[in-house]
Amino acid sequence: MSMELMDYLRELVTQIHYDIIQIEHSQLSWIVPELRTLSPESIFVLDSHNIEYRKFETWMPYAKPDEAQHISEQLSEMKAWEERMWQWYDAAISISAEECGILKSGGLRRVATVPTGGGVDLNKYAPEKMIEKPIDILYIGTMNWYPNAHGLRWFIEKVIPLIERERPGTVFHVVGSGKPETEFLNTLKADVPVKFWGFQGDDAWFLHRAKVFVIPLWIGAGARVKLITAWGAGTPVVSTTFGAEGSDARDGENILLADDPQAFADSVLRLLNDRKYGENIAHAAFETVREKYTVERCADMLIVFTGTWQRRTEGIAVCPNRA
């Protein structure tokens, strides 16, 4: 808790009237009660990038024995905190229909769903035409974030061998900051076809050169920005069902979904071996982004929702069935 931050905010709200005060992430909500007292006419909005307790909730089934109690305690504390502080807000912004529903059931009457928290910049990510794709399979994610590392390990240990058996020489490329755990690296066989690139500043360069992008994710919250970004780059995606949560994912149309190693491997192989099929999936995914997930589209949605918050008694937003 930063007293310097609180002093600065007190000065701001006493000097200027703000129609809307938006708080980013639930962890900053401790400042809301006092700000409400100082600015009682303002509408307070939570920008809920994630419902944080869901990270621990989805982590529990995969927790190691020596960490299960700690994760359980974190889950209980965060859930109690979030459900309490939701009552301090007049409205909230969610990035998925799933979490929109949770916020509404938790007492928030006005919840706007703005997909991916801001949209994809197609000026940067739109696919390049007639470009070579030397990268067979691509994954992008921070290595020292456990949900990413957990999914990556599952893919390398359980899926890669199935792909390698059917398509020898296929290489899996991993881009992202942080270093995989030493324990994990020690389990990799010398001949496992994985290349770790570390942090790279231009993710679009890799996405444009990848035949397949994978999201082997089982733990997390919110929505997967990496999915929408890959779609915007025109890269066909294979994901677990959970990994596609929060997006308008339609299996066999704009994405391939699979939740067991063999089905996941089969989906990756189909995209690798059938270029035309992959192009069709990628095109449908790109059109989904253009229709729903561009920066401009998300900004327009936010403007519309903000217009419903003129008075606390008006404008109850309804969660859509799909983000």
128-181, pLDDT tens digit by residue? 777 889 999 999 998 888 888 889 989 999 999 999 999 999 999 999 887 766
CATH number of 3-119+296-307: 3.40.50.1260, 3.40.50.2000, 3.40.50.410, 3.40.50.740?
3.40.50.2000
Rounded to whole angstroms, the Cα distance separating 195 from 185 reads: 12
Note whether 250 and 281 are within 8 A (CB): no
Note whether 112 and 104 are within 8 A (CB): no
Mean of the per-residue pLDDT values of the chain:
88
Q: Where in the chain is the domain with CATH 3.40.50.2000?
A: 3-119+296-307, 122-293
Confidence of residue 187 (pLDDT cuts 50, 70, 90): low
Q: Does domain 122-293 have CATH number 3.30.1360.70?
A: no
Strand-strand pairing, 91-94 and 256-257: unpaired
* Number of neighbouring beta carbons within 10 Å of residue 295: 15
Question: What's the pTM?
Answer: 0.86
- How far is Cα of residue 77 from the mean position of the Cα atoms in its chain? 23
Instruction: Report whether pLDDT(26) > 90.
Output: no
Instruction: Report whether pLDDT(117) > 80.
Output: no
